Amino acid sequence: MITSARRFCCLVFAVALLAVLGQCQPVPRPFAVAHKGDFSAIQIGPRAGMVVLPVIGAADADLGVRLAAATARALRRREVTASTNHGHRGSHRLQGSAVLEPDGRLRLTWHLRTPGDVETMTLTQEDTVAPAAWRQGEAALLARLADRAADAIDLHLRRQERGEGRRIALAPLTMGPVDGVPGQGGGQLARAMRIALAKAGVPLLQEPANDGFILLGSMRVAPSAGADAAAGRQIEIVWQLIRPDGREFGQVNQANKVSAAQLAGDWRVLAQAIAQAGAPGVLDLLRRDRGG
């Protein structure tokens, strides 16, 4: 849980950034990312990009949203990059429909569609539930239903992947060092990025895998010059996604001004802000990987 002091620090940091960035036009987003890589003609598989829509036919709209969220969480535990947000142009869409029979039999039918709205999967699961527990959306019941759905969907995707003869799942990633950060900041920034990627569903390994990637970070602090030093120091961060043999697959670049006090102080809050802004860019690179 974020403490009041932490929220206050984050607010002060955000206001300071806006004050500094507001002096220039156009105003960039703090630590916005820029991508560099070969993304042409790539089709993203369902395991690397899935949006779970609210379940229709539930007792009420909130129940449909909660079951979709529970299913997305269960899918992420099975190495499926699933979420309930709007996704991206390459996202596949999963939607369930629910029918509760008078005898307490609940039938859930799941439909998976491609970005082009082509249905590629229809799965039906049946379970006996207490009608009151279903209508009230008891957490334990939703978790059980979501786990059963995720197991069936994961099994279907694995069979599909074996049939296609290619890997659709996100490649595993090993976090490398982050160079150029003052003091102990490099370790804190690497740790913050590792946590952000884990929350996004990226499979992380301690040692590089032959079919995986290594993520390296480097930071450059621009020299201070006179009055500019009081306004802040420009920092630039480059995240390099490389193969174990050293070939670079792509980059994520971030840049912004921060105060000299923050550069010299505790990096934990700043590292979290950088990692949270940069992790989606790294995830985007991994989604574009086809194992080539």
**Average pLDDT value for residue range 263-272:** 80
Considering the four listed CATH numbers 3.90.1570, 3.50.30, 3.40.50, 3.30.160, the one that applies to the domain covering 4-30+170-287 is 3.30.160
C-alpha distances in angstroms, 75 versus 51, 100, 158, 205, 258?
Answer: 11, 24, 13, 19, 38
> What does pLDDT average to over the chain?
79
Which residue ranges does the chain devote to CATH 3.30.160?
Answer: 4-30+170-287, 46-164
Q: Average pLDDT of 38-48?
A: 56
What is the tens place of the pLDDT at every residue in 76-116?
Answer: 998 888 889 876 677 899 999 999 998 889 999 999 998 88
Overall fold of domain 46-164: Double Stranded RNA Binding Domain (3.30.160)
Q: What's the CA gap between 253 and 237, in Å, rounded?
A: 6
Summarised one tens digit per residue, pLDDT across range 202-230 is: 888 888 888 889 999 988 887 766 555 55
Where is 213: in which H helix or E strand? strand 213-221
Cβ burial 93-111 (10 Å sphere, 16+ → b, else e):
bbbbebebeeeeebebbbe
User: Model's pTM, two decimal places?
Assistant: 0.46
Share of the chain above pLDDT 70, in %: 77
Q: Which residue has the higher pLDDT, 97 or 244?
A: 97
What is the tens place of the pLDDT at every residue in 134-176?
999 999 999 999 999 999 998 888 877 665 544 446 888 999 8
